[in-house]
Structure 1
Amino acid sequence: MIIGTAGHIDHGKTALVRALTGIDTDRLPQEKQRGITIELGFAYKTLKNGERIGFVDVPGHEKLIHTMLTGAGSIDYVMLVVAADDGIMPQTREHFEILKLLGLKHGVVVITRIDLVDKERVDALQAELHEFLKGSFLENAPIFPVSSLTGEGIAALREEIENAALHLKKRVSHGRFRHAIDRCFVLSGAGTVVTGTVLSGEASTNDLMVIAPNHLPARLRSIHVQDEVSEKARTGDRAALNIVGDAINKDKVKRGMMVIDPFLDKPSQRFDVRLRILASEQKPLKQWFPVHLHHGSLETNARLVFLSQDTMKAGETAYVQIISDKAVIAASGDRFVIRDTSASRTIGGGIILDPLAPERHRRSLERFKFLAAMENEDHLQALSAILALPPYGIDWLYFCRARNLSEVEAAKLLASGNFVVLEHGQDRFVMEQQQEQRLQKAIVDYLVEFHKNEPDLFGVGLEKLRRDVAREIRAPYFRDLLQNEIDKGRLKIRGAWVGLAGHEAKLSPEDEAIWQRVYKVLKGEERFRPPRTRDFAQELGIDENHMRQILKSCARMGRVYEVAQDYFFPREVLAEIIMIMRDIADKKEKHEFIAADLRDRLNNGRKVSIFLLEFFDRHGVTIRKGDIRRLNPHRLDLFADS
C-alpha cells in the first residue's frame, strides 16, 4: 500500500513521515537548506506480518504542485495534513481538490503541531475540518491530532495506518503494463534506471517493453519494488526499473515518458474526456482554452475543445476533447488534472474516456452516445453499449488499446457474450451475433430483389452491395462477412460480383455459341491485347450491336469485364495481370511503377495499358499519384478464383 501526504507548505508532512517511519524523505541538499520538500520523497516500512508499505511525501508549495501531482497518482491511502497553528490554508484546499479529481477513496486527516497550541484550538480546528470534508471521501475519516516533536498521537496514527494496510483491498493488476517515469538516472554497473508508478498491468524481469512516446525498444534487466529486489512489478507498485536497449540512455529517457507493453505504443495528442471545472474558477472557459495538463508523470501544454457546449463555468461537468502539445499514452479510465498556464491554480480535472479520439465528427450525437458508453467501468457493459450504436461494430484492436485490455482479458471478454469476429490479416472487427444475422438477411433480401429486376445478371458488384447494405463496415471485413454466407451455400461470388447461390444467368444457345468462340480468343495468345467489339463482329460475320450486347451481357454475368469502351477482359486474365504487376512492383525499390513498365511486360501498347491501369484504379487495386502507381495489398485478390 502506498500512503501519501497532502497539505499546505510547512505543515509538517515530512516530519510526520519521519515520526512514523524513522526515515527523512528530504533527500536533496536544497531541501535541507530551505526546509521544504521540492522533489518526491519516499520512505518504506515492513509491518509485523511482512506486508510492505510505502510513504510518498509530496511538496506543498503552490509552485511545486506539478511534483505533487506526479506522486498523487500512485497513492492508495492519503494523510491530509493540517497544522494546528495555521489551519486550513490555500494549498490544503488545492491539494484536497486534486485528490478528489484523481479519484482517491481512502485516508485519514492529521492535525500536526498540537504542541504549539492549546486544546481549545485543536477542538475548534476539528470542527472546522468536519465542515470542510462534508460530502467528500474523507467525510467519515478519523482525525488524529499529533505532535511529531513530542510523539503524542503518533502511535495511534501508526496503528490506524497499519490496520488500513492489512484490510484495504489491494489494487488488481489489470491491463497491459504502463509505468509512469518520474526520474531517470545512471547507476554504475547497472546502466539506466527509471523510477515511477506502475499505472496498470504487470511486468517481469527480461520482459520486452517500449519507452513511449519515442518508440524506444527496451528490456527490463532488473526490478525493485518498494525499495526491494523483485521479479515482478504490478499495478500500484512504486518501482525502479533497470532498462537496457540499443537506443536507451539517460539523455533519451525523460520524466513524463512511460515504460509500456509494445501493444500500447500508439501515442495520441487528442483524447476525449469528461471534465469537471472546480467551483473556485471565477471566469468561464472558452473554446480552445489553454491549460497545463497533468497525466501520470507527464505535464504538457494543451488546449480544450468543448464538445457539447461552447463554454464551461465553475462547477460544470461536460465532454471535452483535449489536444496536447506532447503525445500521451493514456487509457480509458485514467485520471488527469488541468491547471492554468502560469501554474498558479488548479482549474479542474476528470477522467479520460477515449485516448485515441477522432478529429472529425467529434460533436455529433453518435459521438456523445459513444463517450457515454465508454464511461462504463465494466468492459462488457461498455462493449455492449457501443455495439448497440451505429456502425454496430468496432475495430477490436482499437477497443483493446483504448480500454487497455491484456490478451487474456480480451479473450475472456469475447467469450462472455454472443460476439462475431470478422478478420482481415491482423485486424479484427467485432459485432454482436444478432447484428451479423440482421446484415446477412439484408444481403439476401437485397439480392433477391436484384435478381428479380435483373434476371440476366450473375449478381451485383461487391462494393455496390457493401455501400447499399452495410456502408459502415470496411470492405475487407464485409468480404469476410460474405465468405461466411458463401461457406453456408447461400451466396456465390465471381470476381467482384456477388449473387445468390441458386441464381443462374444464361445466354440463348445461339449467343452462348458466339460467346464461346470469343472467349477462346480472349484467354488465348492475344489476351493482353484483345480485339475490340467491332473486330469480333467482323470476324464472326454478325451485327456489331448484337456482338456488343452479347459481351455486355457476359460482363453483367461476371464472365468478362469491360475495362474500357469495347475492350473486354476475362476475370482470370485480369488476375494474371495483377500477378504481373505484383512482380513489377516487387522489383522496384519503392514498389512503385509507371504505365510503361506494364506496357513493356504485356507488350500490348501504351493505350491498352493505360486502359487497364485506369480500370484497376477505379476498383482500388492500384493507387495512383500522378504518373506513379502502387498496389493496394487489400484488393489484390479481387479477381481471383472464389
Structure 2
Amino acid sequence: MIIGTAGHIDHGKTALVRALTGVETDRLPEEKRRGISIELGYAYLHAEGAQGRPLSLGFVDMPGHERLLHTMLAGATGIAHALLIVAADDGVMPQTREHLAVLALLGVAQGTVAITKIDRLDPATRASRLAQLQAQVRALLAPTALADAPLYPVSAITGEGIDALRAHLLACAGRQHSGAAQDGARAFRLAIDRAFTLAGVGTVVTGTVASGRLQVGDALQLTPQRQGTREPLRVRGIHAQNQPAEAAHAGQRCALALAGLAKDAVHRGDWACAPAIALATTRIDVECSLWPDEPKPLRSGTPVHVHLGSSDVMGSIVLLEGASLAPGATALAQLVLHAGVAAWHGDRGVLRDASATRTMAGVRVLDPFAPQRWRGTPERLAQLAAQALPERGARIAALLDQSPLGLDLVQTARAEALPGPQDLPLPEAAIRLDGGRAAIAPARLQALQAQALERLQAFHESQPQEIGPDLRRLRRLAAPRAGDALWQHLVDDLVARGAVVRSGHWLHLPAHAAHMSAAEEQLAQRLMPLLLAGGFDPPWVRTLAQDSGAAEALVRQTLASLARRGEVFQCVKDLYYPLPTIERLAAIARGCMAQGDAVQAAAFRDATGLGRKRAIQLLEFFDRVGFTRRVKDAHLLRPGTPLFAARD
C-alpha cells in the first residue's frame, strides 16, 4: 500500500515516517540544514501479515510548505492511503486544510489521522487538549470521504502510539491486498516524479504504477515525447517497493532502469507507459468539481495551473454547461493547455489559480482527445455524460449509442489505457468497421442510411438530368463528418440491399434509372459518334437534331436518358459531353493542377484550345459535379475524388 503524508509544515511528517520505518526521507543537504522537506521523500516498511503473507508499505513524504504544494501534488499521484498529520501543539493550520482539499479533490477515500508531538502537551491538560483536537479534526474531515478516518495520538520522540499506528497501517494494507481488484486489462503506466543516474545502471526513473504490469525486458515509451525519447526504451531493471524485482504492477512504488535514455531527456511530469497507449494532448474534456470553500464561482476562460499525474502545466478552463460554476458544484468542462501532457480516462487532477497560491478544483479526465469544434453541442455533452459512467462496459455501450458517426475504437482504447481495440467490451450488436478499428450502433447506422436516401432523393428532384452523385459527393450532402470506413460500409450495405444502385462511379435510387425505348436506343447509337467526333467542342442539341434527322424533343429526351446512365453529361443547357471526352478534359485539369495549387481558367483554356467562355463553363461543370471546388477565382481539385479517373 502506498501512503502519502499530508499536513502543515513542521508538523512532524518526516519524523513520523522515520519512527514508523527507520528511514530518513530528508536526503538533500538543504533539507538537513533547514530541517524541512523540500523534495519528495520515500521510505518502505516490509512486514509479515496473516498466514505469513508479506506486506509492504511505501511512504511518500510530501513537503508541507505552501510554496512547495506543486511538489506535494506530484507525490500525491497514485497514493492509496492518506496519512494526515496534525501537530498537537498547533492544531489545524492553513496547509492542513489545503492538503486535505487536495486529497479530497484527487478522490483519495482511505486515510488515517496522526496527531503528532503529543510529548509537548502539558500532562495536566493533555486529555482535554486531545479531545479538543479530535473534535476540530472531525469537523474538518466531516464534508470529505475521510470523515470516518481513525485518529492516532503519537510521539515520534518517545515512541508513544507508534506501534499501534504501524499495526493499523499494516492491517489496512492487508485488507487492501485481500480486497484488491486490479484492472488487469489496462496497460502499464507510471507517472515519473524523479529521474537520476546510477553508475553502471544508467538512467533511473521512479514513480507510482497507475495501472498494468511490467517485466524486465519489456518496452516502454516516454510521453509526452521530446527529442531523444521518441523510440521505445527497454527496461533493464526494476525495483518495486525498494526491492529488486522481475516485475512490477499497479499500486507499487517503482524504480525503473531504462536503457538508452539520457537523464536530461526525462522530467517530472512525464509518463513511462506501454507504447500502445502513449499519447500527448493539449485539450482534455473533464468533470470539474469546485471546492466548496472557494470564495466565488469559477468562470469559463479562467487561467489555471493544471496538475495531472506528476505534471504541472498552465492552461485555461472552458465550462461546457454554463458561464460559471458555483462552489461545491460539478460540471463538464474542457481544459485547454499551453503544453502537451499525458492523461487517460479516469485520471484525477487538481486546478490551482494562475498565481499557484490556492487550490480551486478537482478534475476527472473523461476524454483526452477533446475536440475544439462542437465541444458544447447537445450531442457532445451526451457523449461526455456516457464517458462519465464508472463501469467500463456500460460506458463503452453508452458512448457507442451516443456516437452518430460511429466510434473510433483505436482512439477509445488508447484513452482507456487498453492495449488495443480488441480489449474494449463492445456490445454484441455493435457493427465493426475498418477491420475492427471502428464501430457503430445498428440504430445509428440505420439513421444515417435513412438520411442518405433522403438526400439522394432530393438530389434527383433538384437535378433530374444527372445520373446521381458519386460516393464522396453524396457524403458531403448527407454526412460530411462521416469517416471513410463508415461511409463505404453504409453505401455498400444500401447497394447490397438494393436500396441504392451503383452505376460506375455514380449512385442513384432504383427508380431513377433510365429506361429507354427502342427508338431512343437507336437514336443514341447515332448521337454518340457525333458527340465523340466533336472532341472538346461537341455539337449542340439543335445541330445534333439536324445531323441525325430526329426531332429536337426526341434528341433532348434521349440525351437526358443517356445522362441518367452516366454516358453523357450536360455541361450547359443543350450542350452534352460524352464520358470519354469528359475524362480527357478532367485529365487536362489534373495536369494544370500539377503546375500549381489550383486550376486557373486561363491555363485550362490554353491547354484545351477552347475559348474562355467554354473553358469557364467546363470548370463550373466540374465544380457542380464535385470534381473540383471553387475558391475565389481558382478551382481546387477535391482530394481523393475518383470522378473521371483516366482509363487505361
What TM-score results when the alignment is normalised by the length of structure 2? 0.83
Q: Distance in 2 between matches of 1:376 and 1:153?
A: 42
Q: Distance in 1 between matches of 2:205 and 2:404?
A: 43
Post-superposition shift, 1:612?
6.4
Q: Distance in 2 between matches of 1:539 and 1:252?
A: 79
Post-superposition shift, 1:233?
4.2
Q: Distance in 1 between matches of 2:455 and 2:632?
A: 38
**CA pair 307-438 structure 1, distance change in 2 beyond 3 A:** closer
Q: Distance in 1 between matches of 2:607 and 2:534?
A: 10
Q: Distance in 2 between matches of 1:592 and 1:264?
A: 38
Post-superposition shift, 1:258?
2.6
Q: Deviations over 1:205-254 (max 9, x none)?
A: 34252431548423332242333444444433333334455xx5333432
* Matched letter for residue 33 of structure 2: Q
Q: Distance in 1 between matches of 2:213 and 2:202?
A: 22
Q: Distance in 1 between matches of 2:498 and 2:340?
A: 49
Q: Secondary structure at the match of 1:218?
A: coil
Residue 134 of structure 2 corresponds to 126
Q: How does 1:34-49 map to 2 (within 5 A)?
A: 34-48=34-48, 49=53
**CA pair 516-364 structure 1, distance change in 2 beyond 3 A:** same
Q: Distance in 1 between matches of 2:283 and 2:469?
A: 40
Post-superposition shift, 1:325?
1.5
**CA pair 67-552 structure 1, distance change in 2 beyond 3 A:** same
Post-superposition shift, 1:42?
1.0
Residue 566 of structure 2 corresponds to 558
Q: Name which of 224, 228, 238 aligns with 1:212.
A: 224
**CA pair 132-508 structure 1, distance change in 2 beyond 3 A:** same
Q: How does 1:9-88 map to 2 (within 5 A)?
A: 9-48=9-48, 49-88=53-92
Residue 379 of structure 1 corresponds to 392
Q: Secondary structure at the match of 2:305?
A: strand
Post-superposition shift, 1:256?
1.9
Residue 108 of structure 1 corresponds to 112
Residue 284 of structure 2 corresponds to 271
Q: How does 1:188-203 map to 2 (within 5 A)?
A: 188-203=199-214
2:433 corresponds to 1:422:
yes
Q: Deviations over 1:388-447 (max 9, x none)?
A: 447363333443344333316x54422x33111333xx8954321233345446656887
2:99 corresponds to 1:95:
yes
**CA pair 464-623 structure 1, distance change in 2 beyond 3 A:** closer
**CA pair 614-51 structure 1, distance change in 2 beyond 3 A:** farther
Post-superposition shift, 1:17?
1.4
**CA pair 347-45 structure 1, distance change in 2 beyond 3 A:** same
Q: Secondary structure at the match of 1:47?
A: strand
Q: Secondary structure at the match of 2:425?
A: helix
Post-superposition shift, 1:255?
2.1
* Matched letter for residue 371 of structure 1: L
Q: How does 1:300-315 map to 2 (within 5 A)?
A: 300-315=313-328
**CA pair 525-537 structure 1, distance change in 2 beyond 3 A:** closer
Q: Distance in 2 between matches of 1:548 and 1:54?
A: 87
**Contact 1:272–1:354 at 8 Å: present in 2 too?**
yes
Post-superposition shift, 1:60?
0.9
Q: Secondary structure at the match of 1:369?
A: helix
Q: Distance in 2 between matches of 1:268 and 1:357?
A: 9
**Contact 2:91–2:133 at 8 Å: present in 1 too?**
yes
* Matched letter for residue 224 of structure 2: A
**Contact 1:208–1:217 at 8 Å: present in 2 too?**
no
Q: Name which of 514, 521, 528 aligns with 1:512.
A: 521
Q: Name which of 623, 632, 636 aligns with 2:642.
A: 636
2:250 corresponds to 1:241:
no
Q: Secondary structure at the match of 2:349?
A: strand
**CA pair 385-541 structure 1, distance change in 2 beyond 3 A:** same
Post-superposition shift, 1:154?
1.7
Residue 196 of structure 2 corresponds to 185
- Which range is displaced more, 103-112 or 324-333? 324-333
Q: Distance in 2 between matches of 1:255 and 1:606?
A: 67
Residue 489 of structure 2 corresponds to 480
2:368 corresponds to 1:355:
yes
Q: Secondary structure at the match of 1:251?
A: helix
**Contact 1:74–1:238 at 8 Å: present in 2 too?**
no
Q: Deviations over 1:94-130 (max 9, x none)?
A: 1111101001121211122222223412233223323
* Matched letter for residue 443 of structure 2: Q
Post-superposition shift, 1:358?
2.5
Q: How does 1:396-411 map to 2 (within 5 A)?
A: 396-407=409-420, 410-411=422-423
- Which range is displaced more, 575-584 or 629-638? 575-584
- Which range is displaced more, 290-299 or 601-610? 601-610
**CA pair 122-356 structure 1, distance change in 2 beyond 3 A:** same
Post-superposition shift, 1:25?
1.0
Q: How does 1:269-308 map to 2 (within 5 A)?
A: 269-308=282-321
Identity %: 39
Q: Distance in 2 between matches of 1:447 and 1:559?
A: 20
Q: Deviations over 1:248-293 (max 9, x none)?
A: 5333432222334445455332222222222222233333222211
**Contact 1:495–1:571 at 8 Å: present in 2 too?**
no
* Matched letter for residue 335 of structure 2: I
Q: Deviations over 1:145-188 (max 9, x none)?
A: 22222222222222222222222125424434443222233334
Q: Distance in 2 between matches of 1:261 and 1:573?
A: 55
Q: Secondary structure at the match of 1:44?
A: strand
**CA pair 344-452 structure 1, distance change in 2 beyond 3 A:** closer
Residue 531 of structure 1 corresponds to 538
**CA pair 104-597 structure 1, distance change in 2 beyond 3 A:** farther
Post-superposition shift, 1:626?
8.3
Q: Distance in 2 between matches of 1:202 and 1:582?
A: 54
**CA pair 380-126 structure 1, distance change in 2 beyond 3 A:** same
- Which range is displaced more, 442-451 or 327-336? 442-451
Q: Distance in 2 between matches of 1:161 and 1:638?
A: 75
**CA pair 79-554 structure 1, distance change in 2 beyond 3 A:** same
Q: Secondary structure at the match of 1:3?
A: strand
Q: Secondary structure at the match of 1:144?
A: strand
Q: Distance in 1 between matches of 2:545 and 2:183?
A: 77
**CA pair 594-93 structure 1, distance change in 2 beyond 3 A:** same
Q: Distance in 2 between matches of 1:598 and 1:227?
A: 73
Post-superposition shift, 1:305?
2.3
Runs (5+) with no aligned partner, structure 2: none
Residue 7 of structure 1 corresponds to 7
Post-superposition shift, 1:318?
2.4
**Contact 1:220–1:241 at 8 Å: present in 2 too?**
no
* Matched letter for residue 275 of structure 1: C
- Which range is displaced more, 304-313 or 617-626? 617-626
**Contact 1:595–1:613 at 8 Å: present in 2 too?**
no
Q: Secondary structure at the match of 2:54?
A: coil
**Contact 1:458–1:497 at 8 Å: present in 2 too?**
yes
Q: Distance in 2 between matches of 1:537 and 1:263?
A: 67
**CA pair 20-382 structure 1, distance change in 2 beyond 3 A:** same
Q: Distance in 2 between matches of 1:249 and 1:597?
A: 58
Q: How does 1:600-639 map to 2 (within 5 A)?
A: 634-636=640-642
**Contact 1:495–1:638 at 8 Å: present in 2 too?**
no
Q: Distance in 2 between matches of 1:228 and 1:629?
A: 68
Post-superposition shift, 1:351?
1.4
2:508 corresponds to 1:499:
yes
Q: Distance in 1 between matches of 2:324 and 2:449?
A: 45
Q: Secondary structure at the match of 1:384?
A: helix
Q: Distance in 2 between matches of 1:610 and 1:411?
A: 54
